[in-house]
Structures are given as C-alpha cells and as structure tokens.
Amino acid sequence: MSVTVETAIDPATGERFRCVFDSKTCLPVEPIQRFLNYCRKRGLAANTVETYAYRLVDYWRWLEYKALSWDGVGLDELADFVNWYLLGGDVEVIHESLRERVSKRSPKTVNQAMTAIQGLYEFHAAEGRIDDKRFIKLAHGWGKRGGFLRGIIKSGPERRKRLKLKEPKVFPGCLSDADVVRLVEGCLCYRDKLIVMLLRETGLRRGELLGLHLIDVQDVDVTGRLRVVRRDNPNGAWAKGTERVVPILHNRCTVQEMLRSYLLEEYPPEAEQLGHGMLFVSLEGEQRGQPMSLVRLNKLFEELHSRTGIKAHPHLFRHTFATRMLQQGYLDQYVQQLLGHRSISTTKDIYSHVLDEMSLESFMDGEEEQ
C-alpha cells in the first residue's frame, strides 16, 4: 500500500513527530496530516498522536481497497470498516454471532481507530472542508438500527465516539507487597530500585516517570511530594494526564533514602554536563548520562522477570496503587487526582467496578499466599 507513517523533524524546533506520507506522490496525506498537526497543537501526548496516525493509515488503506473517497463515506461504509478492521482485513462479511470468535483485533483497538476517524471528520467539519450536515449524519446515523450496528451506535446527543464496540472489562491484576519487595531486591542499582518504589507508591504512568526532572523531586526529601509536569523531553517522555502534585503516602522514608543514594552515588557527572535536568538517566555505555528511554525501562522489567520470575510492567504498578487506595477507603475523587484522570468517570470505570464485583481484600490475600 502507498500510505505509510514516517518520522519527520520540525526544522524550526528540531522536534520529531509522525507524518503520514503517500509514497506515490512523496507528499503528506493532507487530510490526515492537518488533523495530526491539530492534535499536536492541542497538546495531545505524542504516543496518542502516533496511535492516531497508524489507525488512520489503516483506514486510508481500507478506503483505497474499497475505491472510496475519504470525504464521501457514510454510516454504512464506516460500519463495513469496523467489521473489516475487527477481522484483520481478511474477511469482509461475517455473521454477528461469529465475530468475536474469529476477530483478529481487540474491540479496544477498533475503538481507537474509530476515535481517530471520527476526530478527523469532526476536525474537518469544523474547518469547513466537509459538509457539516453530512458530518452530523455520519456521527449520529438515522434512527434505530439492528443487526451488526446494534451495540455499536450509541444513543444520545454527543458527536464524539459515536461508533463504538463494547469492550470487555477485565481486572488487570495487582502486585502483592511480597512481589514488590522481590522486584526491589532484584534490582542491581539504586536507580532501578527507585523506579520500582516510585511506581508502587505514586501510580505514575511510565511517560510521567521518565519525564521527571530533578526540579520535580526537589521537595521529596522535605515534604514527600513530587510534581508531574507536561513538557517536551529529549527522551520523548510525556505526561499524559493533568499536571499535579503527588504525595508519597506510604514508605516515604524508603523512597527518600533511595533517591538520596541514587543522586549521591550513581547520578553521572555526564548528565550534569549535558544540562537536560532529567532525573532518570543511563548509567553506563555510550548513552551514559543521557535521559533514560522507554526501551530501556521496558528492558529493566524484562531483566527483573528473568531474575525474580515476576512478570511486571509499569502500568501494573499503577493498577496496584489505585486498587490499594480504593481498598483502604480513599475517596474516588482523591484517587482520581492522584492518578491524574481528567474525569472521575474514568477512575470509576476502570477501578470502581472492582469494588462492586469482588472482594479486593480476599483477592489480595490470595495473591500474597501464592
């Protein structure tokens, strides 16, 4: 196919960003690129913009396959795309009852694509590039529908996320206290121990963790609080949620000790010479002193898995943190603030159903006994 996602560099700022090119013309795909540029200006996380780029490329390939114009599709065509995309593009038509058994993409992935696609149309309708009346028809549909579209089209006045598959709610699991202790003991340096402890005691996203600057943790030693700030970072880390102050409520002394040991004994002078001000940096090799990358963070947990037998990842610590907070009786609104969710409904949707459907106390006890 001719449409691909490439990395481009802004000549004015040197910033890297994703660009969607048509290899036949060697030019950006204008409708997609205008929308992605708008998303960047809105301050969406780089990972989110990248996801949109790849999902829209899939959509453009489908349009090419069906010989359709992007500004001429309707609700029925989008429903066809959903069906096609869920099945991996190999099967066009299938009975609804068989869809889940043969689907090659998860409902979450399909919903990501529909969010990007409908965001694209909403943007171009607002800019006057497509007929607004046609967009409203595309977003809302006409009356009630059955068959495949049942459960995909939501009722109500909102324009966004109109086409959506139902995603099964699966409790992501938790790490026990014993698991965390073993992971810390499996670390070979203070930096890695600090990473594990901060993830466990703050619930930070991995982009927020790797985006920490020295100035963001300057109050940890005194007040036990750190700051999460949205900024461009040389390692591409990005704070997806709201900017906030996060208190370290548990094991504060241990975190403070780890931070001091890391900064005094391991933080390389090369990092200070580079002047980037990042907290987590590479400690050896050619990258010594450079900001720690997402690849290196993932590699750390692969190494810990081989040493401890515990398969963990940064987001699992976030689920563990939130679950423990709710289990201990903290208000949903407070947990929302700590996690950086923009809406309380997000917190409740992800975590509160756990409290309604199962006994977390018995779950955690069972985990610790394993």
Q: Active-site positions? A: 205, 240, 315, 318, 341, 351
CA–CA gap between residue 281 and residue 212 (Å, rounded): 11
CA–CA gap between residue 210 and residue 281 (Å, rounded): 9
Closest by alpha carbon to 370, among 217, 235, 205, 175? Answer: 175
Q: In sequence order, which residues have a C-beta less than 8 Å from that of residue 32 and are 6 or more positions away? A: 20, 53, 56, 57, 60, 120
Structure tokens of 44?
């969406």
23 three-class SS: coil
For residue 134, what are the CA distances in angstroms to 28, 76, 290?
A: 25, 13, 50
Rg (CA), the chain: 23
Say how many C-beta atoms besides its own lie within 10 A of residue 323's C-beta.
23
- Cβ–Cβ under 8 Å, residues 50 and 18: yes
Structure tokens of 105?
């993409």
- Cβ–Cβ under 8 Å, residues 116 and 51: yes
117 three-class SS: helix
What is the residue type of 328? Answer: Q
Structure tokens of 1?
């196919």
Q: Where are the beta strands (DSSP E) in 198-308?
A: 225-228, 244-247
For residue 42, what are the CA distances in angstroms to 35, 39, 51?
A: 11, 5, 16
Dump the DSSP string for 294-352.
HHHHHHHHHHHHHHHS----HHHHHHHHHHHHHHTT--HHHHHHHHT-S-HHHHIIIII
